[in-house]
Structure 1
Amino acid sequence: MPTTSCAPKRGTAAPLTIASATSALLLSALLSAAPAHAAAAADGSDDKDNAKPPATMSTVGGERLGRPGTQVSLKAGAPALPKGLSGRSWLVADAESGDVLAAHNAHWKLPPASTLKMLFADTVLPKLPKDREHKVDPSDLAGMGEGSSLVGVKENLTYTVHDLWLGVFLRSGNDAVHVLSAMNGGKTKTVEEMQAHAKQLNALDTHVVTPDGYDEKGQVSSAYDLTLFARSGLQKADFREYSATATAQFPGEYKKDKKGGKKRESFGIQNTNRLLTGFGIPQYKGIAGVKNGYTTNAGSTFTGVAQRGDRVLLVTVMNPQKQAPSEVYKETATLFDWGFKAADSVEPVGALVRPGPKGLNSGSPSDEAGKKAGERAQAAVSPGDGGSNGKWTALGVTGGSLVLLAGVAFAVHRRWPLPELVRRRSRG
């Protein structure tokens, strides 16, 4: 197995998994899996206590979403749900209408791992101009957990905000998260803002303890909340671009050149989202983000967004119990496939609610009301909610080559239209 050129990880992390890029369009960067983290369960209890979902859970988005087990309402002729799904919790939703097509323990509070970085980005990214520069103080990197995933930020070197966000999204770098948190006023302030933003999004299952998703007592989220974070983040152009970037160059250290001067080197980094890069499994046609994660307690977690035709779906999978390699990506891809086939032949079992009190009050479709209530929950988004004019395009991948799935922007009439959804293969 080749050695990685990317930054090392701290402590006794899980082994790196690496490979060369599979397409000429990719830079010669390497991919690493996120590391294992602390051994204590996120809520401080033994893991066996969390083996089953609670009998009752939150009903935000609909009464059925608060029930344990799988929730789906198939019409005649609808494809059955895939067999063999092992995620403790998962959810399939239309990204724009907000209809929840199917879910399994949607509101089960579980450790989120680095998928919590979606909330971090959605909270902090709009506050820091991407061209702002920051010289890293040693204190910026203090307090990172043992085994943290790192992009390779170095003390006393200067980085742009743009550089640091690439480190967050591509390498899930906790070092980049800690520096950005310092720039935002510190970890405590950032955690408070993330918690407040989660509440504003009606992501009420989420309790934030760290901005990077590292396992800490009490830090939990849910498949429902993670999907809300992704949906909100995707309204922001920078969030979309960073989460869809497959490879990039990250600033390294200064080296002496032949003339005796110093020149800053860079090294390649590659997104740890395997459905985006096609490492170990096929690239998923139409994938355009969003974020993966892994810790000892959370297991593997993933939220993805993909387009097929004029439909955009969000899928979140938390902690598959199968131990097969890349299982979280395989189950996500299977649910995407089902969702694209079944979207017009199921009754929604709930809805992704809008931000704010009105969204919370209107987002509870009952079994009888079904889709109509889901539509009420997704009334037109105001400009302040980050809506767009409904015109967008998306790029997907087939066989390692870019394929334009929607080459011409088109007008759509959706209750929460996503702006231009661009898949970036490389970004300097």
Structure 2
Amino acid sequence: MKHIVSKLTVVMMITVLFLASFTMQPNVVKANSNFDVSAESAIVVDAKTGKILFEKQADVALPPASMTKMMTEYLVLEAINNGDISWDTTTQISDYPYSISANPTFSGIGLIQDKAYTVRQLYEGMAIISDNATTIALAELIAGSEGEFVKMMNAKAEEMGLPEYKFVNASGLSNEDLGENYPEGTQPTDDNLLSARSAALLAYHLINDYPEVLDFSSKMRSQLDDQPLENLNWMLPWEDNNFAQFGYEGVDGLKTGFTTEAGYCFTGTAMQGDRRVITVVMKTNSKEQRFIETKKLMEYGFSQFSQVELFKAGHQIKDQSTLEVAKGKEETVEVEASDALTAMIKTGEEDLYTVEYKLDEKVLNKDGKLTAPIKKGEKIGEVVLNYSGEGPNTYLNGIGSQQTVDLVASTSVEKANWFVLSMRAIGDFFGNVFSSIDDFVTGLF
């Protein structure tokens, strides 16, 4: 009986220790392979590297509504940067944007004709409250007409490498909404189109090329013609209204959108510490849902991924640390990674990354050897980072690709003098002769 009791005691102790091992683990958010969001299309991207952290039907081209204005914002900032206009440049409101502004269907500010508005005033109207008339006025200022501006939008989209896009006006309204004012060169039934991937890439360029855009997109309130401008982004740090429940740490942009065809969409961005993410949700069902789903994407991007140094500078692959050298004082040279290899990786996947060497064939002779002299630090190929996991390891078009650093010589190898080369040649000759004789004799038996 005592023997049975002692066995039960041991089993109970093991069970307690087993359970304790779980309760004592640090409170870490675990990766969820079943992660999803309630949007027809979505993506979250690391804003520094362009690494895609999650995507859902990201290549489906959909109406982006006022997210179209991100391209207008880009071209205005580009014009300012090029010196074509300035923040203080003034313009008056033509009949077309005035009619849009006066139409309550479009929730216009109500612009005044025969008044000079500065670019800054119009830009605030576009960026803060997503006003359509101020957007059209800026397009006319830069290109002379919205039709010409649309050509600029599509040309810039091609230059950026947006994979799926179609710009037909500056504001994001459908051409049917514009009635007889639809831009020249487009069709009356046309609508703008962007995929979530293209919207993220556009946002990437906007934020990285012109970070001042965030000064506007993060501004919660302003005014124009004594009319209040209140930001449509409920994820900003609101404290005095019902939007506070949607707030998320570090959010400072970027662009909301809604039309009947597009549903509720949002391109968001947030900065936490030294990391920034870009998110896109398209065709959600409500104003609230687009921010709720964006929060999910942001939390996923920040909690599940981090920038990790996977291989240090000077790293060598075991059993591949040397290469043969022809005509050198030494017959081999050590090689190593010139710099550290870092990557934005999912938590717990460090062991799924390996490296391989890809030698530059131009520096090898016909026997596959390097030829002396070789200088320390001389590039002889690349160290390529490989990923063997199941998750995405892709980047926004034209931003990133398979990560590499230079493969370089660790030391210098001087060219051997003629005497050493002669002795080696003689040695190789007799070595080949004796090898042939040995093979011949061995073949007799």
- Per the shorter chain, which TM-score range? 0.5 to 0.7
Partner of 1:276: 236
Deviation per CA, 1:377-422: give whole Å up to 9, x if none: 6469xxxxxxxxxxxxxxxxxxxxxxxxxxxxxxxxxxxxxxxxxx
Partner of 2:93: 136
| Deviation, structure 1 residue 246 | 1.3
Q: The residue matched to 2:69 in structure 1 has which SS? A: helix
Q: The residue matched to 2:305 in structure 1 has which SS? A: helix
Higher Cα radius of gyration = 2
| Deviation, structure 1 residue 233 | 1.0
Let me know the Cα RMSD of the aligned residues: 3.1
Deviation per CA, 1:13-33: give whole Å up to 9, x if none: xxxxxxxxxxxxxxxxxxxxx
Deviation per CA, 1:236-270: give whole Å up to 9, x if none: 143221122111121x2xxxxxxxxxxxxx23211
Mapping of 1:44-83 within 5 angstroms?
78-80=30-32
Structure 2 residue 205 is matched with structure 1 residue 241: no
Moved over 6 A (4+): 143-146, 369-373
Deviation per CA, 1:295-327: give whole Å up to 9, x if none: 101001101110112211111100124x5x510
Return closer, same or farther for 1:207/1:375 CA change in 2, 3 Å cut-off.
Answer: closer
State how far apart, in whole Å, the 1-side matches of 2:116 and 2:63 are: 33
2:63 to 111, 131, 144: 111
| Deviation, structure 1 residue 210 | 1.1
Partner of 2:296: 334
State how far apart, in whole Å, the 1-side matches of 2:40 and 2:116 are: 41
Deviation per CA, 1:207-238: give whole Å up to 9, x if none: 01111001242421011111111111112143
| Deviation, structure 1 residue 95 | 0.2
Return closer, same or farther for 1:269/1:142 CA change in 2, 3 Å cut-off.
Answer: closer
Structure 2 residues without counterparts, runs of 5 or longer: 1-27, 80-84, 176-189, 307-344, 351-384, 402-445
Q: Which amino acid aligns with 1:131?
A: D
2:113 to 143, 147, 155: 155
State how far apart, in whole Å, the 2-side matches of 1:338 and 1:193 are: 35
Partner of 2:172: 213
2:156 to 187, 197, 200: 197
Deviation per CA, 1:115-169: give whole Å up to 9, x if none: 1100111123321311011122324435788832423322222210000000001
Mapping of 1:295-334 within 5 angstroms?
295-321=259-285, 323=286, 325-334=287-296
Structure 1 residues without counterparts, runs of 5 or longer: 1-75, 253-265, 349-364, 381-428
Q: Which amino acid aligns with 1:132?
A: T
Structure 2 residue 168 is matched with structure 1 residue 168: no
Is contact 2:53–2:392 with CA below 8 Å preserved after alignment? no
Partner of 1:386: none
| Deviation, structure 1 residue 366 | 10
Return closer, same or farther for 1:78/1:172 CA change in 2, 3 Å cut-off.
Answer: same
Q: Which amino acid aligns with 2:112?
A: K
Return closer, same or farther for 1:291/1:81 CA change in 2, 3 Å cut-off.
Answer: farther
2:202 to 229, 239, 261: 229
The percent identity for this pair of structures is 25
TM-score (norm 2): 0.56
For these two proteins, the number of residue pairs brought into alignment is 273
Partner of 1:419: none
Which structure has the highest helix share of the two?
A: 2
Return closer, same or farther for 1:375/1:290 CA change in 2, 3 Å cut-off.
Answer: closer
State how far apart, in whole Å, the 2-side matches of 1:189 and 1:221 are: 20
Q: Which amino acid aligns with 1:238?
A: E
| Deviation, structure 1 residue 331 | 0.3
